[in-house]
Amino acid sequence: MPLRQKKKKKGNRLSKSFLIVGLGNPGKEYQLTRHNFGFCVVDQVAREHSIKFVRSSKYQGFLGQGTIADKKVLILKPSTYMNNSGVAVKNIVSQKQISFENILVVCDDFHLDFGQLRLKPKGSDGGHNGLVSLVRHLGTKEFARLRMGIGEPKRKAQFSDFVLSSFSRSELKQLEGIIEKGADCCIAFLTVKLNQAMSLFNTKNKKEEK
């Protein structure tokens, strides 16, 4: 059953905590695959702010808790695998009473050029199985998402294999800087207005520039 939240009003008990979710698949075999871009970015956020992840059966993933820019922040890497990401996210949102507007989901996107960032306040799932699961279980599209471009395969039939493939050598050389930029965008989500963060980090892809 989808999760429902009432609009903010006096007496509402929704927490003031923020939740940053990195989407990916658990296990070493998936560690540096394109589909795990979300994990890579939230790992960087945690490193920069001395937040340690602890495996949590209660929250069905690896959970980090800390303070960033005077805000209480939870960072979650679901261990439910990509296609069931919404199960873990619904669980922690419900138990921690987190407002949808305080959620940021970081994921990969093959509709964007490699290294391109696209922050949005809401939107469709875009065919991304992790987002499909989140929308289904949360019952809303009203949560922010940071999409990390991975480029697209040469043949459309290769999409499922492509997202689970490793980054190329040339991509690996750029990866650290892109991950750091993604982490900076996550911090901007916490510290400035969303429109301002979007103007700072959103860029056009090659097709849009033509």
Catalytic residues: 35
**What is the radius of gyration, based on Cα positions, of the chain?**
16
Residue 3, phi then psi, degrees to nearest 5: -85, 135
Burial grade of 139 (CB within 10 A; 0-12, 13-18, 19 or more): middle
Give Cβ neighbours of residue 93 (< 8 Å, ≥ 6 apart). 3, 19, 100, 103, 138
Tokens representing residue 2 in the block: 């989808």
Across the beta sheet with 103-109, the strand order is 53-56, 61-68, 71-78, 18-22, 103-109, 144-149, 117-120
Tokens representing residue 100 in the block: 């949808």
Measured distance between the N- and C-terminal CA atoms of the chain, rounded to whole angstroms:
44
